[in-house]
Amino acid sequence: MQRTLEDFYHAVRAAGVPVPPSGSIAASRAVALVGYRERDLLKYALSMNLANSRHEQELVETCFDDFFRFETFGSTEAASGGEDAANDGPEAAPEVRPPRPDGDTTPDYQGDLPLAQMLMQRDRSALARAMQEAARDAGLTDIWFFTQKSLYTQQILQRMGMRELQEEIRGLAQGDCPTRIATAGALREAKDWLYEEVRDFVERQLGIYGKTAVQDLRERHLQKTRLSNIEQRDFHTMHQLVRKMARRLSTLYSRKRKRTDRGQLDFARTLRSNVAYGGVLFDTHWKQRHIDRPRVLVLCDVSGSVQAYSRFLLLFLHSLNDVLARIDSYVFTSGLAPVNAIFDRYPVAEAIDLIMAEHGFGGSDYGGMLLDLERECLAAIDHRTTVLILGDARNNQLDPRSHILQQVHQRAKRVLWLNPEPESFWNTGDSVMRNYRPYCHLARTCNTLEHLERLLDDLLKAATAS
Amino acid sequence: MRRKFATDFRPEQPTSAQHQRNPGVSDARRGEPVLGYNLRLRRDPPGAAPETGWPMKELRETHFSSIAEVASAFERQGYICDERIATCVYLAHNLEKPVLVEGPAGVGKTELAKTCATLLDVPLVRLQCYEGLDESKALYEWKYAKQLLYTQLLKDKLGELLDGAQGLRASMDKIHAHEDLFYSEHFLEPRPLYRALHEPGGCVLLIDEIDKSDQEFEAFLLEVLSDFQVSIPELGTIAARVKPMVFLTSNNSRELGDALKRRCLHLHIPYPDAALERRILATRVPELDARLRRQIAAFVEQLRVLDLKKVPSISETIDWARTLLLLHATELEPAMVRNTLNTLLKFETDIEAAGEQLRGFVDKARQAAAGG
């Protein structure tokens, strides 16, 4: 049974719940206490030990139901009641394909090949057991991709004795004896049925063990794809991915605190560190600590060429709202438009769609945008603000007005420029990156989700470093 | 033989003085723990759990022999629990693992720990978490004022101590020959965690609303939860006399660390369904008429489906049932429900939202009660 439990932990891991060795040890101990008799209790005991949140609890319990489903042959077609039900019930007749000997036409098998005997006697439980064992030998729990299906099916069949069965059939079919030929025919039919059963079984197991492998691969791929190449149908996955990355960053940075040097005196601490000075309160300690959250002013170009990048930057930033004190979002093509109100009113993903629909047209004019910035929010930029600009700096031969960016640079804590183009393309054609670059603390290529994550990681690190 | 074994190994007999040192642990039960435990030892069933190396632990293991027994014992204490909760308590008790209880406010997370303490007949030590809670408030604190006072008082004794010593080195040697009196248990102010570890007969430790505490405190708890010991720099490592049964509750106001979660059994208590709620009401407010009870449960169940700011949980249902009992209600009346709705719903907007559909809800609840 320990083997089965180990397989179950494997399946739980594949379902996306990380189970450390300590977790599986604890779960096994719990199972030893609870016993196997009551299914529900076993399920609760396992989920309590393996899951760490309500979401994981649901995953584990679904996995339990899938995994400990009563595996019988033909269970998908007929009721899982076993051979009796399949024999008696007339409704099962067309689906259950193993040859049934109730008619006098069915020949008897007198050979001594175990697999053939099982097939002819329709011993479902023995077949199921043989299949499970063969699957274990073949290492079916390591199955990852659907392309491995036929490989594992073949391996399981070989281990169950398929080759011998084929030889037996060939042997029976030779010669003239009609009963032997009939037996061979019945066995051939049973063999096909067995093949399909095993393939179904492998497919079900793939569903259990290979679920997340494919997803992982896909996510890894999406992280490295240029954001402009991501298609609409992947947006949902991308949003989830962004949320996941944002959660990682926020857990990393949400708890960094700086000590203050004012407020309420931490008397005990102070006294403790001043015992050395004979109790004179010399070296003071204070109770308050504050979380230093960066304030971000983000300016996103939403003209056609950069729109896709802006979408994900905004999405990422707004998923980080518990570690950022304040996000002022503006989008621009030629003029600056505040979009905070939209973010306040709608959920993030929906808000972004609205913004893109409303503002995302026309060629960009960085000079015009900077003029608006100077007029509207230069006063609000101070030494705590990080200014984040996303754009390709392709100004359509207009005046770049970089002196405004210079002012911003002087006032702000940091100015970061994210350019979706690779650095070798900067300053080519109508790009005016060379005019802006001196006034940025950091200018970087940013065209995949990975770049975005790295950049925001930097931003938070710089902001919380004391 | 066995009994002697157990008592011999008990590190310290609880004395009344010791109890007085722990004023926070409120209980009349504390008077007789030694007797109680020894009696229980004799009831040791033949199939008791294997030796755990710590003889006192055996005493605790005699309590629950099966999950069903846990459930019925809880019910006798007036706490109706489903199979999941019973399994969890059974496992926590036998595996000596802490339980992390999650769920909306008022579904009985804290009550679970309290009931457990009553049932096991051990004191409940409660640690309420809040932002800024640190180890000096949770574990121990030195009595600085007392230390300072004693240094002043004992100044002249120093002369006697150093009598005859020549030079600085000899004086230091003389002082070192005495143990470090100022950092001993006499100057230690025990806080809940320390008390829980020192409780001679074991206890139920309730760490309430752990999600309100800081990250640092959470990390500090790890040692307590996995090894049931704490390190005090001046005294060394202090291990639990009897491993306490630990419950942590969380409302999920922030995500807890994985390290903490991994050390705990995870239990989520959701809102109960109508049937379970009826049973809870029957034990908590037994004077209530059966028909009214059914109506209340059906009514509250309908409320929970609404989009409310604060969905009523079990504690509010019980409060409401008591209110209705006080008003001598025999049946739900729209007018009375409207007037008492504020015990069930805590926000004005919620009351307004529910108010629109009140009559329909009351009718449906009556029908459901009549039908069931």
**Structure confidence by residue, pLDDT tens digits, A125-143:** 788 888 888 888 888 877 7
Same domain, B175 and B294: no
Looking at the structure, do residues B262 and B166 belong to the same domain, yes or no?
no
> Do B200 and B348 belong together in one domain?
no
Q: In this complex, is the C-beta atom of B94 within 8 Å of any C-beta atom belonging to chain A?
A: yes
Q: Are residues B166 and B49 in the same domain?
A: no
B106 and B245 belong to one structural domain:
yes
Residue B10 is predicted with a pLDDT of 39
Asked if B177 reaches chain A (Cβ–Cβ under 8 Å), the answer is no
What are A58-89's pLDDT values in tens digits? Answer: 889 988 888 887 655 654 343 333 333 333 33
Q: Summarize pLDDT for B313-371 with one digit per residue, the tens.
A: 899 999 999 999 898 888 888 888 888 888 888 888 888 888 888 888 888 888 888 87
- Calculate the average pLDDT of chain B: 78
pLDDT digits (tens, 9 = 90+) for A383-434: 878 888 888 888 888 888 888 999 999 988 888 898 888 888 888 888 888 8
3-class SS letters over chain A = CHHHHHHHHHHHHHCCCCCCHHHHHHHHHHHHHHCCCCHHHHHHHHHHHHCCCHHHHHHHHHHHHHHCCCCCCCCCCCCCCCHHHHHHCHHHCCCCCCCCCCCCCCCCCCCCCHHHHHHHCCCHHHHHHHHHHHHHHHCHHHCCCHHHHHHHHHHHHHHHCHHHHHHHHHHHHCCCCHHHHHHHHHHHHHHHHHHHHHHHHHHHHHHHHCHHHHHHHHHHHHHHCEHHHCCHHHHHHHHHHHHHHHHHHHHHHCCCEEECCCCCECHHHHHHHHHHHCCCCCCCCECCEEECCCEEEEEEECCCCCHHHHHHHHHHHHHCCCCCCEEEEEEECCCEEECHHHHHHCCHHHHHHHHHHHHCCCCCCHHHHHHHHHHHHCCCCCCCEEEEEECCCECCCCCCCHHHHHHHHHHCCEEEEEECCCHHHCCCCCECHHHHHHHCCEEEECCEHHHHHHHHHHHHHHHHCC
Q: Quick one: B12 and B147 in the same domain?
A: no
CA distance A325 to chain B (A): 17
Say if the Cβ atoms of B148 and A279 lie within 8 Å: yes
Q: Cβ contacts (< 8 Å) between B258 and chain A: which residues?
A: 52
Taking CA–CA distances from B226, the nearest residue in chain A reads A22
Cα B174 from chain centre: 47
A28, A52, A254, A272: which to substitute to probe chain B, counting the most B Cβ within 10 Å? A52
Q: How confident is the model at residue A200 (pLDDT cuts 50, 70, 90)?
A: confident
Which of A22, A31, A39, A41 to probe by mutation at the B interface, max B CB count within 10 Å?
A: A41
Q: Are residues B359 and B282 in the same domain?
A: yes
- pLDDT the model gives residue A260: 62
Mean pLDDT of B211-224: 85
For B91, the closest of A48, A247, A255 (CB atoms) is: A48
Which residues in chain A have Cβ-Cβ distances shorter than 8 Å to B67?
34, 41
Residue B65, min C-alpha distance to chain A (Å): 10
What is the pTM for the complete model shown?
Answer: 0.66
Q: Measured between CA atoms, how close is B261 to chain A, in angstroms?
A: 6
Report the pLDDT value the prediction gives residue B32, as an integer from 0 to 100.
Answer: 36
Query: What is the distance in angstroms between the Cα of B83 and the nearest Cα belonging to chain A?
Result: 7
The answer, for A371 touching chain B at a CB cutoff of 8 Å, is no
Residues B158 and B229 in one domain: no
Longest dimension (CA), chain A: 113
pLDDT tens readout for residues B193-211: 998 988 888 889 999 999 8
For the stretch B235-289, pLDDT in tens is 888 888 888 999 999 987 777 888 888 889 999 998 888 888 888 888 888 888 8
The predicted structure's pLDDT at residue B33:
36
The verdict on a CB contact (< 8 Å) between B136 and A53 is: no
Residue A160 pLDDT level (bands cut at 50, 70, 90): confident
Q: Report the chain B residue with the minimal C-alpha distance to residue A253.
A: B215
pLDDT band, residue A204 (cuts 50/70/90) = confident
* pLDDT tens digits for range B13-72: 444 444 444 444 434 334 333 333 333 333 334 443 343 334 444 445 556 778 888 888
Residues of chain B positioned with their CB less than 8 A from the CB of A280: none
Where does a domain end: B211, B239, B269? B269
Do B87 and B112 have their domain in common? yes
The residue with greater pLDDT, A320 or B109, is B109
Can you give the residue range of the structural domain that contains B358?
274-371
List beta partners, residue A192: none
In this prediction the ipTM stands at 0.71
Residue of B nearest to A42 (CA): B87
Q: Is B328 helix (H, G, I), strand (E, B) or coil?
A: coil
CB contact under 8 A, B262 and A20: yes
Domain-ending residue, one of B234, B269, B304:
B269
Q: Are strands B204-208 and B124-128 parallel, antiparallel or unpaired?
A: parallel
Indicate yes or no: CB of B266 within 8 angstroms of CB of A287.
no
User: What pLDDT score was predicted for residue A15?
Assistant: 81
Residue numbers in A near B147 (CB within 8 A): 275
Assess whether B207 and B291 both reside in one domain. no
CB A307 within 8 A of CB A319: no
For residue B102, the chain A residues in CB contact (below 8 A) are 53-54
Q: Which of B141, B148, B262 has its CB closest to that of A22? A: B262
What residues 262-291 of chain A have any CB closer than 8 A to a CB of chain B? 268-269, 271-272, 275, 279, 287
Count of CB contacts below 8 A, A vs B? 65
pLDDT, position A357: 83
Q: Are A274 and A358 in contact (CB under 8 A)?
A: no
With beta carbons under 8 A apart, name residues in chain B contacting A54.
102, 268
Q: Return the higher-pLDDT residue of B66 and A109.
A: B66
Q: Does the beta-carbon distance from A33 to B90 stay under 8 Å?
A: yes
Sequence-distant contacts of A450-459: CB under 8 A, at least 24 apart: A450/A223, A450/A224, A451/A418, A452/A227, A452/A312, A452/A313, A452/A316, A453/A245, A453/A249, A453/A316, A455/A416, A455/A418, A456/A249, A456/A316, A456/A317, A456/A320, A457/A249, A457/A252, A459/A294, A459/A296, A459/A386, A459/A388, A459/A414, A459/A416
Of A48, A275, A287, the CB nearest to B266: A48
- The number of domains in chain B is 3
CB contacts, 8 Å: A52 with chain B: 258, 261-262, 266
pLDDT at A376 over 90: no
User: According to the model, what pLDDT value does residue B16 have?
Assistant: 43
Rounded average pLDDT over A224-249: 74
Same-domain pairing of B103 and B152: no
Q: Among partner residues A33, A54, A271, which is closest to B102 by beta-carbon distance? A: A54
Distance from CA of B362 to the nearest CA of A (A): 33
Task: Return the pLDDT at A256.
Answer: 56
Give the type of residue at A148: Q
Q: For residues A202, A206, A207 and A210, what is the CA-based torsion angle, rounded to 10 degrees? A: 170
Contact status of B146 with chain A (Cβ, < 8 Å): no
Residues of chain A found within 8 Å of residue B83, distances taken between Cβ atoms: 40-41, 44
Give yes or no: residues B23 and B62 share one domain. Answer: yes
* Nearest chain A CA: its distance from B340 CA (Å): 33
Q: Among A291, A293, A289, which residue's Cα sits nearest to residue A263?
A: A289
